[in-house]
Every structure is written in C-alpha cells, then in structure tokens.
Amino acid sequence: MSFNRELTPKWRPGYRFQYEPAQKGHVLLYPEGMIKLNESAALIGGLIDGQRDVAAIITELEQQFPGVPELADDIEQFMEVARAEHWLILE
C-alpha cells in the first residue's frame, strides 16, 4: 500500500513538540510523559504545523538535504510510526 502524501499531519491534542534544554534535543510532551526525538524525527517534527501536507514536508527536507535517496521513505515511515503511536493525526 502506498502512503498518501496529500495527508496533513497534526499533533494530537495534548501533545506538544518543543526543544528541551535538559534533554539537549527536541521532545514530544504529552500528559503521561515525554518522548525524546532523534535528530531526524526532530527535523520532521519541526515542520508539522497542521498546514503542510506530507508532500510539502518531504519537499522542504529534500531541499535542505539534497541527494539523500531514502529521505522520502524515512519521512513516510516516521508518519506511520507517529500515527500508530497516536502522536499525531493524518487528515
């Protein structure tokens, strides 16, 4: 099944993406705790604004990191995991 890049990711209500100095990185805060994101996930998360669809996020990161062949697949995989973990909604 192919991933629908026209979907727009939005953080679920109660989830907040932010930089956390104590963690020296970006985190996803939610009522039950916190998820520390790796650098790649933080770059993707920083572009989730409820306005850009997945295709726009891929385009933005491909411009920042040209010549990375698996970039689009990695972004799609992050979206799938984040949706499965109930971090975000894809609409």
Q: Which residues of the chain register pLDDT less than 50? A: none
The answer to whether residues 6 and 87 touch, using CB atoms and an 8 Å cutoff, is no
String of DSSP letters for the chain: ----TT--EEEPTT-EEEEEGGGTEEEEEETTEEEEPPHHHHHHHTT--SSS-HHHHHHHHHHHSTT-TTHHHHHHHHHHHHHHTTSEEE-
**Domain spans, the chain:** 9-90
Class for domain 9-90, per CATH?
mainly alpha
Return the C-alpha torsion angle 44, 50, 52, 53, nearest 10. Answer: 90
**What's the pLDDT score for residue 1?**
57
